[in-house]
Amino acid sequence: MTIVVTGATGHLGHLIVEALLRDGVTPSEIVAGGRNLTKLDDLAAQGVRVASIDYNDPQTLADALAGADTLMLVSASEPGKRVAQHKTAIDAAVAAGVTRIVYTSAPYASTSALILAPEHKGTEELLAASGIPSTILRNGWYTENYTAAAHQAAASGTLVSSVGSGVVSSASRKDYADAAAVVLTTEGHEGKTYELSGDVAWTQDDLAAAISKATGKTVVYKPVTAEEHATILKSAGLDDGTIGFVTALEANTRDGLIGYTTGDLSRLIGRPTTPLAEGLAADL
Ligand SMILES: NC(=O)c1ccc[n+]([C@@H]2O[C@H](COP(=O)([O-])OP(=O)(O)OC[C@H]3O[C@@H](n4cnc5c(N)ncnc54)[C@H](OP(=O)(O)O)[C@@H]3O)[C@@H](O)[C@H]2O)c1
């Protein structure tokens, strides 16, 4: 068995490789891929094979996938380019004779109005058309997404957001990585789609309380309108594209699109997901 993990130079992919090792996969049966190979030194030292993988360079994928049976495709990170990049990886998997692909998608990607959903929907369609048995891990929000906001809020005492009373069912990256390792190392996941999320959907008041607890600074949630938030972000020097993205995501959050709790994640990993306060404190 050989499992090729893309994005292993990033946070999630690296954690997936660590989880595979912990779950007893032989190091030499794992190929950890990415562009910045120095980030893989610790894995190489444990016997994991490393490979240069650039989604914009099909030959790197052909080389990395030669002889592999499983592709763990961690979604790429450049919005607007991802469907083409994922297609390059899926085409290379077909050519290499890969027999299973596991892909990290987004909540309810095929039907959701979430701003990030279309590229994941497009990729899920490519996977279905590839003929390779696949498992879709529709990863919900990472708790770590709130680390930067937590630092700002701790410094100012105020957590500013336009999500209103919209809830977020985040989990720690490690929870999602552990789920990927379960799917990669146990039977019966082909053709399945998992809606992964934290067990608890929390509010911005909960987030403010978790930041207060983790930092020892009193933080209070200050709800603002989308227009007010855009003005605040503009005065902080953000460009219009970033402001549009942030406010669209906050509108999605207000609409509950990242607040689903299905229990799929805790069922897969066999334990509760990491609570917000714990995950945030660990990352801070
Ligand atoms: N669910 C969520 O809350 C959430 C939040 C953020 C992102 N995401 C998605 O989940 C993925 C993993 O999250 P993460 O936190 O691990 O992100 P990350 O730390 O930024 O890692 C992204 C990985 O993608 C690789 N990558 C990017 N462009 C590539 C290319 N052209 N060719 C090959 N590799 C490329 C990077 O490789 P190099 O570093 O070697 O270039 C890196 O290993 C992200 O890429 C994104 O699609 C989900």
Element counts in the chain: helices (H) and strands (E): 12, 9
* Position in ligand 1 atom list of the atom nearest CA 12: 16
With respect to residue 113, please indicate whether it lies within any of the assigned structural domains: yes
Percentage of residues in the chain having pLDDT higher than 90: 99
Which two tokens mark 141? 């929000």
Give CA–CA dist 123/111, Å, rounded. Answer: 13
pTM for this one?
A: 0.97
| Residue 12 and residue 124 in one domain | yes
Q: What is the CA radius of gyration of the chain?
A: 19
DSSP 8-state symbol, 275:
P
Whether ligand 1 lies within 6 angstroms of the CB of 13 is answered as yes
In angstroms, what is the span from residue 224 Cα to ligand 1's centroid? 30
Length of the chain as a residue count? 284
Q: What is the largest CA-CA distance in the chain?
A: 56
Using CA atoms, how far apart are residues 258 and 40, in angstroms rounded to an integer? 31
- Do residue 165 and residue 235 come from a single domain? yes
The tokens 């909960």 sit on which residue? Answer: 206
* pLDDT tens digit sequence for 117-171: 999 999 999 999 999 999 999 999 999 999 999 999 999 999 999 999 999 999 9
Ligand 1: does its nearest atom lie under 6 Å from the Cβ of 145?
Answer: yes
**Whether the Cβ atoms of residue 66 and residue 95 lie closer than 8 Å to each other:** no
| Strand partners for 41 | none
| 164-191: pLDDT as tens digits | 999 999 999 999 999 999 999 999 999 9
What is the CB neighbour count within 10 angstroms for residue 278?
15
Q: How many domains does the chain have?
A: 2
Is 7 close to ligand 1, i.e. is its CB under 6 Å away?
A: yes
Q: Which residues pair with 49 in a beta bridge?
A: 31
Q: Are 71 and 157 contained in the same domain?
A: no
Q: Domain boundary at 88, 116, 139, which?
A: 139
- Picking from 64, 140, 134, 58, the residue whose alpha carbon sits closest to that of residue 102 is 134
Domain holding 94, by residue range, is: 3-139
Residue located via tokens 């957001």: 161
279 lines ligand 1 (CB under 6 A): no
Of 120, 139, 158, at which residue does a domain stop?
139
pLDDT for residue 106: 98
Residue corresponding to tokens 């660990």: 282
